[in-house]
A and B are shown apart, each in its own frame.
Chain A
Amino acid sequence: MIRVANIFHLGIKELRELARDPALLVLIVFAFTISVYTSSKAIPETLNRAAIAIVDEDQSPVSARIIAAFNPPYFQKPRLISQMEMDSRMDAGLDTFALNIPPNFQRDLLAGRSPTIQLNIDATRMTQAFTGGGYVQSIVTSEVNEFARRYRAAESLPVDIVMRTRFNQELNKGWFGAIAEVISSITMLSIVLTGAALIREREHGTIEHLLVMPIRPTEIMVSKIWSMGLVVLVASALSLIFVVQGLLHVPIQGSVVLFLTGVALQLFATASLGIFLATVAGSMPKFGLLLMMVLLPLQMLSGAETPRENMPEIIQAIMLAAPNTHFVILAQAVLFRGAGIETIWPQIVILLAIGSVFFFFALQRFRKFLR
């Protein structure tokens, strides 16, 4: 028979031990404050001081106008190069964009001969190539159009498209970054704290001690899960209220309570995973190495960073077994889109199921580990 009192007292012991472990405390505080803050603020703007070179073979007012239009912070001052330099500079990775304005561009433009400007983009720089290409295109087009405005206007169909962005109207990446970091801190800390709690006990030899007392392995394991889970739950709630909402002014659409329910379920699964990993590793250094190999896939393939639908189907299928995938769906639905229980109940059910499977699996391992 499992005794709740034992689970309670053992859990209190875990909390007291954690309270005296400065390294872990610093990690918790760091993960939920500074880390969240910087992830929100330091999301690199996709275009920052991009290197652009211009081959100006026209040397006309319109080409001067184009050159003058590229400015920091999006672009560096364009470097004026010759046609010959262009290839070698792009090969060496010095320029991401190279714009080639042909001879007699202005003359042909005004004569309506539709001349061509060539834009070379180094597509190995994915981040800059996409957005930067668009910027360059629109800058050049608007400059040239403005120059040529007085000459003609095209006719077109009277159909407009009205684009409305929902849930994050300004497409503020900081919002996304902050919440994504909270989500990943929850996973990381729950695994680290429970795993470390078990390994600490093993390395100090105190686990022996517990075993001779009238306590069952289940009670030991549950006590670690609830206590460390509680710490992460409280920390994430505080982070959400004070850092995400307070400091970063990210609006939260849905119910924080509903989100925390999801967190609790996620913690149930990941804390069990932490116990499991600790029994496999046996010592802190090995636990650290295992963590590297488990945490990264868990976070990067769960859809928290980039959309799941971009991944190959096999990975999408495998990742359905990971709690993170469902937790991320739940978290994004609740926090960004204001979804309620009627929308996210499937995720809750799945998380509960995955958590239970993980828990029993970890318990089996844990029993063997104690021998």
Chain B
Amino acid sequence: MNDRQTKDAKPVPPSVVRLEAVGLSYGKTRAIENVTLDMRPDCIIGLIGPDGVGKSSLLSIIAGARVIQQGHVEVLGGDMADSGHRRVTFPRIAYMPQGLGRNLYPTLSVFENIDFFGRLFGHDRDERRRRIGRLLDSTGLAPFADRPAGNLSGGMKQKLGLCCALIHDPDLLILDEPTTGIDPLSRRQFWELINEIRASRAGMSVIVATAYMEEAAQFDWLVAMDAGRVLATGTPGDLLKQTGASTLEAAFVDLLPEEKRRGHREVVIPPRQAQDETAIEADHLTMRFGDFVAVDDVSFRINRGEIFGFLGSNGCGKTTTMKMLTGLLPTSEGTARLFGRQVDPNDMEVRRRVGYMSQAFSLYSQLTVRQNLELHARLFRMDADSIPGRIEEMARHFGLASLMDALPDSLPLGIRQRLSLAVAMIHSPDILILDEPTSGVDPVARDSFWQILADLSRKQNVTIFVSTHFMNEAELCDRVSLMHAGKVLISDKPAAIVESCAATTLEEAFIVYLKKAIGDKEATPTADSGPSSLFATEAASPRPSAQAHKTRSFDPRRMFAYTQRESLELRRDPIRATLAVLGSMLLMFVIGYGINMDVKNLSFAVLDRDDTTISRDYVLQIAGSRYFTEKPTITTYADLDRRMQNGEISLAIEIPPGFGRDVMRGKNVQIGAWVDGAMPARAETVLGYVQGMHATWLTQKAREVYGSAATASNFQLAIRYRYNPDIQSLVAMVPGVIPLLLLMIPAMLAALSIVREKELGSIVNFYVTPVTRFEFLLGKQLPYLTLAMLNFFMLTAFAVFAFRVPFAGSFLAFSVAALIYVTATTAMGLLISTFMKSQIAAIFGTALLTLIPAVQFSGMIDPVSSLQGAGALIGRIYPTTYFVTISRGTFSKALGFHDLSAEFLPMLIAVPVLLGLGAALLKKQAN
């Protein structure tokens, strides 16, 4: 309805997104507070603000990936709370979540990644190939089509993400911080690509969240956010005018509420007194990891007290260079000197002069602020007496005094960064190495952080070596180095660099140098197949495929998309693949030999104090049995004690002196037997055997002495051990173990396959694409079903050929039952996954949830018929019960379909019930 109304109201172009009083909480934290917005179509809309202000949450709500808790959200003319509208709209929306390649699959190649998305949108093979070819050409990724996504540089990952997002020609493109952490050239190319796409596809709207204000200045319309609220909206010009600031950054600070701005002032770094003492010197540093050159012939010199900036994208070699300078990594070539002394990785003294602060926050979050400071002070071998004083001093200096007993996780990011810096400074180092210290920190906190750095440099003469990808931070440095792909492109004063290329900003200058360095060939669109060809087919037929597929409620193609991807991933993960293929074999081997109730090779020894024919005859009776192995005779009681104590013998027999004589005379004699009771089960068996053999010996002897009449008993008990006449443990165990293994491992792997996506974030692809719950579940189930059947055949073969367990019944019946059974067990894993959040919980949770009912209540040990109460109920509905009966029936009892038909039905019912429950409980949106 809504749809029609908005379309009819032609004159004003309908909003692409309308938010009304939208609110969102994570537990007690309020992420979004009453946001009302109206976004015009056909333009780039920017969400600006630091990390954690609610930008990402807002975008995920717009994309339909998150449940709307409060308010009303309308996207592309329909209510996003309505799942029907979402299904119709998903083919028109593309969503790229935050984090480099977070919705990509790192082990899959570039081509496979895009191909997966193509399948999700129901494109057939030819269409996919055509579209992927075009996307790869226009983004310059074509030469890297076979490279795993995990091995791409940041910029390339983002381009790949874009390809995946654009495969289905969306009308609305939602990008969450698409350029964070990538180099300026890639960033620029990324935006050029977006602009070209927009030019070729009129009417496409783009919503972008970004932390880079320079970038935001280019957008059509901005939404400034802080603490879940909208501070202001308008074009960049509007915002500047409103605040009277000269840059967006300054404008944003002005827009912040009063209490946040308090104490904020522009960073002032006084000019540096020229000093010639060299603090850090890198001389032709090179670092190779195998074939890969991480750092290539880097040289520079940093003076004492200087703030030296290292500018470059993620993975360009900044961190490796820093590690070599601190002596953490031995250099492949070249030398590094600190204060004129060559750095030696084994020289612990050097490390004490260096303070290091790694990327993001990486202190111990389970230690309080004070404990963190204390630990580092101790590890830097500070004098124990001076530590408390120094900690007080640092606390005062960095404004942490009131927070000393707080846990870092409870502190805002800006304060945590100050804590990191305090920790790095605790031992008063001469050199401070900071690896991207301010990413994600809001502008006010960032400025105060830089003010501290300035004071350290100018007042305490600390040499500061800082890496960043923010241009405005780089401008604060005394000198900067531009780094790319392991090489330093230039080192100079920021102003001098800008001047040298006749650029207006440092960013432009950087781009000039980057282009020069890479010769403009890598990762740039080829001239003839420009992005204009991206949507060449558009005008003629508007989205034919998407139209055709969006109404179908079950599309095998989308299901197989997940199947195929899952199989590829599994194949490339050695640990999971090993468990999947060999895990059950290994466990069967272990259980088969580990839980063995046969008793044989029992060691015994004799203290024969008679040593006559009769006593030797008695011993021979035991030694001759296949259950016992005789050890050297016991000499004394002490010997007996010792040998029983160290477990050498589990049975000792003592025959008294005069045994033979007394027996013949009919005098009562006693033989002593000592049994090791440490293992009660074994001891019981030993007792049984010994008594049995004693009785046999008596009967034999009695027959010799008194003649055969003496032993006639009054009735016989004929015992038939059926199905397993030799009463072998393995024959009894193995048919019970196979159902157990076909339950636990397939269920665990199936559960992991979904929980993994939840944990890694790629589950969002399920949230925002037209895939239905059943397609997703069945698609995930198929590969594990196949694997489980493979396991089944391997286990059966192993049982028959390696363990020599006879198989007497119908193999066909057994296989069909196994297929039904593993369908049920993998479905059980999928069901379990719906209420598991982390992989580790899924592993142990699935093990517990499957093993206990299977072992206790499924007739593996006690028959279900001897269970009572809840156990009996579980036993009756648990599929394992029936498969255990079928397994034992076909293995040992020579049964077939006909005899076991009653056991198939319950399993056949379990499959749809489990799958249906799984689908019902699986959430199509995040909470």
Interface centre among A124, A306, A336 (most CB of B within 10 A): A124
Name which of B74-82, B348-356, B564-572 contacts chain A. B348-356
Is residue A167 contacting chain B, with contact meaning CB distance below 8 A?
yes
Q: Is the CB–CB distance between A116 and B717 below 8 Å?
A: yes
Query: Could you tell me the distance between the alpha carbons of A334 and B308 in the complex, rounded to whole angstroms?
Result: 65
Interface residues of B in 753-801 (CB under 8 A from A): 756, 759
Question: Which 10 pairs, one residue from A and one from B, show the smallest C-beta to C-beta distance?
Answer: A300-B594, A285-B839, A168-B677, A123-B724, A205-B362, A126-B732, A336-B678, A214-B348, A212-B356, A49-B866
Q: Is the CB–CB distance between A305 and B594 below 8 Å?
A: yes
Q: Is the CB–CB distance between A126 and B366 below 8 Å?
A: no
Query: Could you tell me the distance between the alpha carbons of A305 and B352 in the complex, rounded to whole angstroms?
Result: 52
Instruction: Give B375 Cβ to nearest chain A Cβ, in Å.
Output: 5
Q: Is the CB–CB distance between A154 and B713 below 8 Å?
A: yes
Q: Is the CB–CB distance between A130 and B727 below 8 Å?
A: yes
Q: Which of B358, B378, B706, B899 contacts A5 (CB 8 A)?
A: B378
Query: Could you tell me the distance between the alpha carbons of A141 and B352 in the complex, rounded to whole angstroms?
Result: 85
Is residue B268 contacting chain A, with contact meaning CB distance below 8 A?
no
Q: Is the CB–CB distance between A173 and B698 below 8 Å?
A: no
* A116-B716 CB under 8 A given contacts A123-B723, A167-B677, A301-B593: yes
Name which of A226-234, A256-264, A287-295 contacts chain B. A287-295
Query: Could you tell me the distance between the alpha carbons of A122 and B86 in the complex, rounded to whole angstroms?
Result: 59
Q: Which range contains the number of A residues in contact with the other chain? A: 35 or more
Report chain A residues within 8 Å CB of B727. Answer: 123, 126, 129-130
Instruction: Give A35 Cβ to nearest chain B Cβ, in Å.
Output: 12
Q: Is the CB–CB distance between A158 and B379 below 8 Å?
A: no
Query: Could you tell me the distance between the alpha carbons of A93 and B716 in the complex, rounded to whole angstroms?
Result: 26
Report chain B residues within 8 Å CB of A209. Answer: 356, 358, 362-363
Q: Is the CB–CB distance between A339 and B645 below 8 Å?
A: yes
Q: Is the CB–CB distance between B677 and A165 below 8 Å?
A: yes
Report chain B residues within 8 Å CB of A312. Answer: 593
Query: Could you tell me the distance between the alpha carbons of A144 and B715 in the complex, rounded to whole angstroms?
Result: 8
Q: Is the CB–CB distance between B586 and A293 below 8 Å?
A: yes
Q: Which of B674, B865, B891 contacts A94 (CB 8 A)?
A: B865
Identify 16 residue pairs between A and B in the complex whose beta-carbon atoms are under 8 Å apart, listed by A's number. Answer: A20-B407, A49-B866, A95-B865, A123-B732, A124-B724, A124-B731, A126-B727, A148-B714, A158-B668, A159-B669, A159-B670, A169-B677, A173-B681, A176-B678, A286-B576, A289-B575
Q: Which of B670, B719, B866 contacts A50 (CB 8 A)?
A: B866
Report chain A residues within 8 Å CB of B862. Answer: 44, 48-50, 127-128
Instruction: Give A99 Cβ to nearest chain B Cβ, in Å.
Output: 9
Q: Is the CB–CB distance between B647 and A157 below 8 Å?
A: no
Is residue B551 contacting chain A, with contact meaning CB distance below 8 A?
no
Interface residues of B in 86-117 (CB under 8 A from A): none
Produce 1/0 per residue, A314-339, CB < 8 A to B. 01000000000000010011001111
Is residue A82 contacting chain B, with contact meaning CB distance below 8 A?
no
Report chain B residues within 8 Å CB of A215. Answer: 348, 379
Interface centre among B360, B576, B596 (most CB of A within 10 A): B596
Q: Is the CB–CB distance between B690 and A161 below 8 Å?
A: yes
Beta-carbon nearest neighbor of A91 in chain B:
B893
Instruction: Give B559 Cβ to nearest chain A Cβ, in Å.
Output: 25
Instruction: Give B896 Cβ to nearest chain A Cβ, in Å.
Output: 11
Q: Which of A119, A307, A333 contacts B646 (CB 8 A)?
A: A333
Q: Is the CB–CB distance between B716 and A343 below 8 Å?
A: no
Interface centre among B326, B701, B717 (most CB of A within 10 A): B717
Q: Is the CB–CB distance between B839 and A297 below 8 Å?
A: no
Is residue A28 contacting chain B, with contact meaning CB distance below 8 A?
no
* A337-B647 CB under 8 A given contacts A49-B862, A91-B899, A165-B677: yes
Q: Which of A93, A155, A289 contacts B710 (CB 8 A)?
A: A155
Q: Is the CB–CB distance between A163 and B673 below 8 Å?
A: yes
Is residue B679 contacting chain A, with contact meaning CB distance below 8 A?
yes
Interface residues of A in 236-262 (CB under 8 A from B): none
Is residue B680 contacting chain A, with contact meaning CB distance below 8 A?
yes
Q: Which of B583, B593, B671, B863 contacts A125 (CB 8 A)?
A: B863
Q: Is the CB–CB distance between B722 and A292 below 8 Å?
A: no
Is residue A134 contacting chain B, with contact meaning CB distance below 8 A?
yes
Q: Is the CB–CB distance between A168 and B678 below 8 Å?
A: yes
Q: Is the CB–CB distance between B583 and A171 below 8 Å?
A: no
Q: Which of A156, A285, A333 contacts B843 (CB 8 A)?
A: A285
Beta-carbon nearest neighbor of B688 in chain A:
A134
Report chain A residues within 8 Å CB of B186. Answer: none
Report chain A residues within 8 Å CB of B847. Answer: 292
Report chain B residues within 8 Å CB of A12. Answer: 375
Produce 1/0 per residue, B672-700, CB < 8 A to A. 11111111111111011011001000100
Beta-carbon nearest neighbor of A145 in chain B:
B714
Q: Which of A3, A168, A214 contacts B683 (CB 8 A)?
A: A168
Q: Is the CB–CB distance between B379 and A213 below 8 Å?
A: yes
Q: Is the CB–CB distance between B379 and A114 below 8 Å?
A: no
Interface residues of A in 135-180 (CB under 8 A from B): 137, 140-141, 144-145, 148, 151-152, 154-169, 171-173, 175-176
Name which of B141-149, B600-608, B916-924 contacts chain A. B600-608
Interface residues of B in 634-687 (CB under 8 A from A): 642, 644-647, 650, 663, 666-685, 687
Beta-carbon nearest neighbor of B895 in chain A:
A91
Report chain A residues within 8 Å CB of B668. Answer: 158-160
Query: Could you tell me the distance between the alpha carbons of A94 and B376 in the complex, rounded to whole angstroms?
Result: 67
Beta-carbon nearest neighbor of B720 in chain A:
A120
Q: Which residues in B have some Cβ–Cβ distance to A below 8 Å?
A: 326, 328-329, 348-349, 351-352, 354, 356, 358-360, 362-367, 371, 375-376, 378-381, 407, 433, 575-576, 578-579, 583, 586-587, 590-591, 593-603, 642, 644-647, 650, 663, 666-685, 687-688, 690-691, 694, 698, 701-702, 705-706, 710-725, 727, 729, 731-733, 735-736, 752, 756, 759, 838-840, 843-844, 847, 859, 861-863, 865-868, 885, 888-889, 891-893, 895, 899, 902
Instruction: Give B417 Cβ to nearest chain A Cβ, in Å.
Output: 14
Interface residues of A in 32-69 (CB under 8 A from B): 44, 48-51
Q: Is the CB–CB distance between B861 and A44 below 8 Å?
A: yes
Q: Which residues in A have some Cβ–Cβ distance to B below 8 Å?
A: 3, 5-6, 9-10, 12-13, 16-17, 19-21, 44, 48-51, 76, 88, 90-96, 105, 109, 112, 114-131, 133-134, 137, 140-141, 144-145, 148, 151-152, 154-169, 171-173, 175-176, 204-206, 208-216, 281, 284-290, 292-293, 296-297, 300-301, 305-307, 309-312, 315, 329, 332-333, 336-339, 343-344, 371
Q: Is the CB–CB distance between A213 and B680 below 8 Å?
A: no
Report chain B residues within 8 Å CB of A175. Answer: 680
Query: Could you tell me the distance between the alpha carbons of A156 and B674 in the complex, rounded to whole angstroms?
Result: 24
* A310-B590 CB under 8 A given contacts A167-B676, A288-B839: no
Q: Is the CB–CB distance between B670 and A157 below 8 Å?
A: no
Beyond A125-B863, A212-B328, 15 extra complex contacts between A and B, CB < 8 Å: A17-B366, A48-B866, A49-B866, A90-B722, A91-B893, A114-B712, A124-B891, A125-B861, A126-B727, A126-B729, A154-B713, A157-B705, A159-B668, A329-B646, A333-B647
* A288-B840 CB under 8 A given contacts A13-B375, A144-B714, A310-B600: yes
Beta-carbon nearest neighbor of B667 in chain A:
A158
Query: Could you tell me the distance between the alpha carbons of A160 and B888 in the complex, rounded to whole angstroms?
Result: 42
Report chain A residues within 8 Å CB of B885. Answer: 92-93
Q: Is the CB–CB distance between A301 and B682 below 8 Å?
A: no
Query: Could you tell me the distance between the alpha carbons of A286 and B714 in the complex, rounded to whole angstroms?
Result: 65
Q: Is the CB–CB distance between B889 and A292 below 8 Å?
A: no
Instruction: Give B146 Cβ to nearest chain A Cβ, in Å.
Output: 25
Report chain B residues within 8 Å CB of A118. Answer: 718, 720
Q: Is the CB–CB distance between A310 and B599 below 8 Å?
A: yes
Query: Could you tell me the distance between the alpha carbons of A160 and B642 in the complex, rounded to whole angstroms?
Result: 26
Instruction: Give A15 Cβ to nearest chain B Cβ, in Å.
Output: 11
* A289-B673 CB under 8 A given contacts A213-B376, A339-B646: no
Q: Which of A16, A205, A285 contacts B360 (CB 8 A)?
A: A205
Q: Which of A5, A94, A105, A161 contacts B691 (CB 8 A)?
A: A161
Report chain B residues within 8 Å CB of A339. Answer: 645-646
Report chain B residues within 8 Å CB of A288. Answer: 839-840, 843-844
Report chain A residues within 8 Å CB of B684. Answer: 131, 171
Instruction: Give A120 Cβ to nearest chain B Cβ, in Å.
Output: 5
